[in-house]
Amino acid sequence: MTVLAELQQERTEATPTMTGAEVVCEALVREGADTLFGYPGGAVLHLYDQLTRMRGRLRHILARHEQGAVHMAEGYAKATGRTGVVLVTSGPGATNAVTGIANAFMDSTPLVVITGQVPRKLIGTDAFQEVDTVGITRPCTKMNYLVRDPSELATVIHEAFHLAGSGRPGPVLIDIPKDVTAERTSAIEPAPLRLPGYDPDDEGDPESVRRAVALMLRAHRPILYVGGGVVHANASGELHTLADRLGFPVTPTLMGLGSFPAQHPLSLGMLGMHGTYAANMAISDADLIVAIGVRFDDRVTGALERFAPHAAIVHVDVDRSSLSKIVRADVAIAGDARSVMRQMLALLPMRRDESQLGDWWMQIKAWQRFAPLSFEPSADSIKPQMLCQELALATRGKAIVTTDVGQHQMWLAQYYPFREPRQSITSGGLGTMGFGLPAAIGAQLAFPERQVVAFVGDGGFQMTAQELATAVHYGTNTKVVVMNNNYLGMVRQWQQAFYAGRYSAVNLQGGPDFVKLAEAYGARGLRATHPSELREILAEGLGTPGVAVMDINVTVEENVYPMVPPGAGLREMVLR
Amino acid sequence: MSRTIVVDVENRPGELARIVNLLAARAVNIETLTVSESSPDNVSTVTVTTDADARTTEQVVRLLDKQVRVLSARELNTT
């Protein structure tokens, strides 16, 4: 070897380089990712090639559609509390992912989504499979990047994971041109985080917390209204202690299900449009609402001008822009739900004088007796509510259950006694049909030993049913319970109630035979059409190793009650 | 009545679009828009005047302030 060649070799050894694709994969491992959900294509070929060298370190799950991949990552993230990772190609790969990204944005799920982009010199030329991905996803990501140089990759990925998982979590997208993944760089390690404009609150302002606690000790008709923020902050333990020590009733939102055990004596069940009568009456009559990790969604408040007219409002949220956004808070506390509840607990006496709440609880119990959740049982038709109760029995209330959006979602929220956070995985804010099955696959891949059930309607199931192939291919034990009423049930219910029964485009009859569909994918298919078969079919389906689809034919025109009609206040519930 | 919003933001590609999109998504009409750069820190100052009402303006300011690359967002007090 010549002296010059030796020198050159020394220099290369001194500054090792990697391709952009190598940097990306190593960075993902460094950030703690073990699983990617994705779909390949031209712009991500270098990345997929690099994945062949990552066996045992990064597992790639091939979905059958990019929307499915993102929902899987979200199911994985929601079940574990860790950031889900997605890899898709440019153009249609990115646009197909948008529904999933928007869903994660609305429900504050931490995701890092990597999209391929056309090579740098082709950007802006309407190249094959080119789309302005950062432009399209700007309004539905917490942050997004177009990486113009491979030397930025390690730092951008480090930043992306930090942003996705901290503060109010959310999806972060990284768009990487194909040639950036091929080019070599010596910037293998990330630079230290430099985010001068980003500093999420942790502890709340102590003076505000003191004022909140003073209100809590004075209140005669208090209620804790809790949501997804409690789940994200892993603050269920603190919530439990707080509720127990104060003796306050607790009502969770859809996203807060499981953050407080449904069967706890202090739980009133979910509030809002299809919430319990007691929860809605209690929040309407309260003199103090302690709102933690919630955003006063329109499905929760009903008509705003009639919402909780007598209540002082304490609002705790990690997202400052949520405070007083919808309902003006008397005490607004920007902070992490767990940290703020700990601050509250430090100021509270160990036991509160319970006599102060005696009348309030008498009133609440009267509401509970007056209108408990109920439905008319049937001897010859499977009532969807009964299906939810039987599913709870068959899984002993311990399954992770995912849903789509609609009637089945509301009935499950009403009748499945979620006891732990991260047990209910649902599409709340965006209300995405087709979320349930892929989300269940993601949760099942995170927890192979747990019972995971996708509880879906016959409409939503058909939007992502192709992911049965993914569930089977990876040998998961995912179970699908299709609440099949041959209708787009919630839309039908609204057409019945508010459009004089003129059904328009809601009939799904003539759809595929779900048992045969399951079998076509190599899964087991079962069907129940009569109440006498239900228990047995559920037991058999849930007990089948591998993937099973249970097609449960339920009463076709059953409606979800109670219901707060659109535009009405929470007191104006229609009971049935 | 016009209100004035002042945003200090890291000078990077796409950040002005983020600010303008956020206003557009909430149907806030922009009357005037000025962007100036203070070079030592690589920070841009974006000044927007709008006819949005007080509550909308307050919300928009909080949303702007929340953006990762935004260093500060505030409404200028009108006297």
What are the pLDDT digits (tens) for A356-392?
999 999 999 999 999 999 999 999 999 999 999 999 9
List, in sequence order, the alpha helices (H) in A286-398: 298-301, 337-347, 358-370, 384-394
A319:B66 CB<8 A: yes
Predicted local confidence at residue A207, as pLDDT = 98
Q: How confident is the model at residue A119 (pLDDT cuts 50, 70, 90)?
A: very high
Predicted local confidence at residue A330, as pLDDT = 97
User: Could you tell me which CATH class the domain A206-370 is placed in?
Assistant: alpha beta
Tell me the pLDDT tens digit for each residue of A432-483. Answer: 999 999 999 999 999 999 999 999 999 999 999 999 999 999 999 999 999 9
Q: What is the DSSP string of A443-456?
A: HHHH-TTS-EEEEE
Domain residue spans of chain A: 13-185, 206-370, 384-553
Predicted local confidence at residue A12, as pLDDT = 62
Q: How confident is the model at residue A80 (pLDDT cuts 50, 70, 90)?
A: very high
Predicted local confidence at residue A5, as pLDDT = 75
Provide the 10 A C-beta neighbour count for residue A401. 30
A196:B71 CB<8 A: yes
A320:B70 CB<8 A: no
Which of A139, A143, A323 lies nearest to residue B21, judging by beta carbons?
A139
B18:A198 CB<8 A: no
- Lowest mean pLDDT across A4-18, A65-79, A169-183: A4-18
Residue ranges of E strands in A142-221:
143-146, 171-177, 184-185
Q: What is the DSSP string of A341-358?
A: HHHHHHHS-SS--GGGGH
Predicted local confidence at residue A39, as pLDDT = 98
B65:A320 CB<8 A: yes
Query: By the 8 A CB rule, do A233 and A336 touch?
Result: yes
Average pLDDT over residues A91-101: 98
ipTM over 0.85: yes
Show the 3-state SS of A128-143.
CCCCCHHHHHHHHCCE
Percentage with pLDDT > 70 across chain A: 99
B3-76: CATH number: 3.30.70.260
Residue position matching structure tokens 């595929």:
A512
Query: Using CA atoms in the order A176, A179, A181, A185, what is the torsion angle rounded to 10 degrees?
Result: -110
Q: Clarify whether A490 is annotated catalytic.
A: yes
DSSP-derived letter for residue A418 is -
Tell me the pLDDT tens digit for each residue of A206-257. Answer: 999 999 999 999 999 999 999 999 999 999 999 999 999 999 999 999 999 9
- How many A×B Cβ pairs under 8 Å? 38
Determine the residue of chain A that is closest to B15 in CA distance: A138
Residue A245: is it exposed, middle or buried by C-beta count within 10 angstroms (0-12/13-18/19+)? middle
Q: Clarify whether A26 is annotated catalytic.
A: no
When scoring B45, B60, B66 by the number of chain A Cβ atoms within 10 A, the one with the most, hence best to mutate, is B66
Asked if B5 is an interface residue toward chain A (Cβ–Cβ < 8 A), one would say no
Average pLDDT over residues A398-419: 98
Average pLDDT over residues A62-79: 98
Tell me the shortest Cα–Cα distance from B78 to chain A, in angstroms.
Answer: 22
Tell me the pLDDT tens digit for each residue of A531-543. Answer: 999 999 999 999 9
Q: Clarify whether A178 is annotated catalytic.
A: yes
Q: How confident is the model at residue A1 (pLDDT cuts 50, 70, 90)?
A: low
Helix, strand, coil share of chain A (percent; to 5) = 45, 15, 40
Average pLDDT over residues A504-516: 95
Q: Name the B residues in 16-55 with CB < 8 Å from any A CB.
A: 17-18, 21-22, 25
Q: Clarify whether A389 is annotated catalytic.
A: no
CATH topology of domain A384-553: Rossmann fold (3.40.50)
Domains A13-185 and A384-553 share a fold: yes
Query: By the 8 A CB rule, do A86 and A113 touch?
Result: yes
Indicate whether this model's pTM tops 0.90. Answer: yes
User: What is the rounded average pLDDT for all residues in chain A?
Assistant: 96
Tell me the shortest Cα–Cα distance from A196 to chain B, in angstroms.
Answer: 6
Q: Considering the candidates A106, A216, A490, A573, report the single residue annotated as catalytic.
A: A490
B18:A197 CB<8 A: no
Q: Clarify whether A67 is annotated catalytic.
A: no
Tell me the shortest Cα–Cα distance from B26 to chain A, in angstroms.
Answer: 11
A146:B59 CB<8 A: no
Q: How confident is the model at residue A544 (pLDDT cuts 50, 70, 90)?
A: very high
Tell me the pLDDT tens digit for each residue of A138-168. Answer: 999 999 999 999 999 999 999 999 999 999 9
Percentage with pLDDT > 90 across chain A: 95
A146:B14 CB<8 A: yes
Which residues of chain B have a pLDDT value below 50? Answer: none
Query: By the 8 A CB rule, do A354 and A558 touch?
Result: no
Tell me the shortest Cα–Cα distance from B68 to chain A, in angstroms.
Answer: 5
CATH topology of domain A13-185: Rossmann fold (3.40.50)
Predicted local confidence at residue A11, as pLDDT = 64
Domain residue spans of chain B: 3-76
Tell me the shortest Cα–Cα distance from A220 to chain B, in angstroms.
Answer: 31
Predicted local confidence at residue A352, as pLDDT = 72
Average pLDDT over residues A334-344: 98
Predicted local confidence at residue A355, as pLDDT = 84
Q: Which two tokens stand for residue A479?
A: 């179970």
Tell me the pLDDT tens digit for each residue of A279-310. Answer: 999 999 999 999 999 999 999 999 999 999 99
